[in-house]
Amino acid sequence: MFELTDRVAVITGAASGIGAATARIYAEAGADVVLAWYPPDGHDVEPVRQAVEAAGRRAVVEAVDVTSTEDVDRLLARAIEEFGRVDIVVANAGIARKVALEDLDDAAWLKVLDVDLNGAWRCFRAALPHMQKAGFGRLIATSSVAGTVSGWPEHSHYAAAKAGLVGLVKSLAVEFAADGVTANAVAPGVIRTPQALDPVNSLGPDGIEASAKKVPSGRVGEPEDIGYVYQFLASTESAYLTGQLLVVDGARSLAGLD
């Protein structure tokens, strides 16, 4: 079930967190992976590449700024050059910046939207012609509980971008269903990633531990918790699931505000 044998996946934000876990899980399920990473972030993509190859699959590494159409088009062209196809795109690259609304100028607002929302749109746009030609495609966006089922103070630009991803996948799901392409978004809750561990722009270690007490299961999520959901969404078995937002937060959003 949910095997990805000989599929080709492009994953942005692949050097850490959810992207890195998804790359490893996809390789273990049989997929070759194009690892898109952003070197200024400071994360090392090499262990991810090694993990993919240790699973017996091919890994291609490409430095990409998802705010650049040229970079994104080059990424998809590289995937086609190396593998001849693109079956799955996981638009996972994202940033969070803590800014109170009174300090949120146009540049700060647009920067987060350009990475978190427009970056996914650029990736999907570049991949869709290849998926249409093949009659198969899986578009997956990393959204968030922030902006979809809850708010996040001092992160209105982040929440707006993550909410926008839901509208994007719903529209693409309808437009490209006849081509065998599905489009879905996942809204992770608090996941133990480098971004969430950032004490300046996100929760930090103390905030994560405090959040764990509010989750019915008593823990925050791990990147693999999302990666396995992405495995299902990439599989042939998910063919009838499209245009949806899947909330993966350990039922935190259902448990009230205590």
pLDDT at 67 over 90: yes
* CATH number for position 212: 3.40.50.720
Q: Does a structural domain hold residue 18?
A: yes
Q: Does a structural domain hold residue 243?
A: yes
Q: What pLDDT score does 223 carry?
A: 98
DSSP 117-160: THHHHHHHHHHHHHHHHHT-EEEEEE--SBTTTB--TT-HHHHH
Choose, from 158, 228, 230, 240, the residue flagged as catalytic: 158
Q: Does a structural domain hold residue 229?
A: yes
Decide if 220 contacts 195 (C-beta within 8 A).
no
Q: Please give the residue range of the domain that contains residue 228.
A: 8-254
* Gap between the Cα atoms of 159 and 162, Å rounded: 5
Q: What pLDDT score does 217 carry?
A: 87
Lookup: tokens for 204 = 């930090």
In single-letter form, the type of residue at position 37 comes to W
Q: What is the pLDDT confidence band of residue 257, given thresholds at 50, 70 and 90?
A: low
Q: Tell me the average pLDDT across 176-198.
A: 96
Q: What pLDDT score does 201 carry?
A: 86
* Closest C-alpha to 28, from 5, 59, 47: 5
Lookup: tokens for 239 = 């063919």
Q: Does a structural domain hold residue 121?
A: yes
101-148 pLDDT, tens per residue?
999 999 999 999 999 999 999 999 999 999 999 999 999 999 999 999
Q: Which residue has the higher pLDDT, 256 or 63?
A: 63
* Closest C-alpha to 69, from 139, 12, 130, 119: 119
151-177 pLDDT, tens per residue?
999 999 999 999 999 999 999 999 999
Decide if 35 contacts 15 (C-beta within 8 A).
yes
* Gap between the Cα atoms of 152 and 158, Å rounded: 9
* Closest C-alpha to 82, from 53, 52, 62: 62
Q: Does a structural domain hold residue 2?
A: no
pLDDT at 258 over 90: no
Active site residue 158: yes
Q: What pLDDT score does 178 carry?
A: 98
Ranking 90-94, 159-163, 215-219, 254-258 by mean pLDDT, the lowest is 254-258
Q: Does a structural domain hold residue 3?
A: no
Q: Does a structural domain hold residue 13?
A: yes
Main-chain phi, psi angles of 62, to 5 degrees: -140, 125
Ranking 8-17, 63-72, 163-172, 194-203 by mean pLDDT, the lowest is 194-203
Q: Does a structural domain hold residue 1?
A: no
Q: Is the pTM of this model over 0.75?
A: yes
Q: How many domains does the chain have?
A: 1
